[in-house]
Amino acid sequence: MFREDANMVTASPMRRLEAAWGWSHCAMLAETWDSAVEGYTAAIGLLPLAAWHGPDQSTREHHLKNWTGLASNAATAAIAGGHRTLAVELLEAGRSVLWTQAMHRRQDLAVL
């Protein structure tokens, strides 16, 4: 059920993120590492949508505080599943959500 909800494109990003977290969490408890990694990868991919550019910085930070530990849990599952490189990629993707958004907001400096 969590997997289907996480992939439901008509659901809100926050609902999809909650479902992906549930999927990941259940898979971790069952020690089905590949499924856990798949769920965590989906969840981390949804973080930028949950903290989209529209709200101000403090609102985006507030939305992301709800997901503290997501990237480290994803890395744990990836390492347990034997995917060390992916573990680093998931940590970086989770850590850099706000930074990436800030970089995309930059204007083209060529006109200077």
**Domain map (residue ranges) of the chain:** 2-107
Q: What is the mean pLDDT of residues 2-7?
A: 87
pLDDT at residue 1 in the model = 81
How much is the pLDDT for 94? 83
Q: What is the pLDDT of residue 65?
A: 74
The three-state secondary structure class of 69 is: coil
Say which residue the tokens 């709800």 belong to.
66
pLDDT in tens, 10-40: 888 889 999 999 999 999 999 999 999 999 9
**Do residues 63 and 40 make contact, with C-beta atoms less than 8 angstroms apart?**
no
pTM of this structure: 0.78
* Contact by Cβ (8 Å): 34, 81: yes
Fill in the DSSP letter of residue 81. T
What tokens appear for 22 in the block? Answer: 């549930």
User: 53-112, pLDDT tens digit by residue?
Assistant: 566 767 767 767 777 888 889 999 999 999 999 999 998 888 876 555 544 554 554 554
To which H or E segment does residue 86 belong?
A: helix 84-95
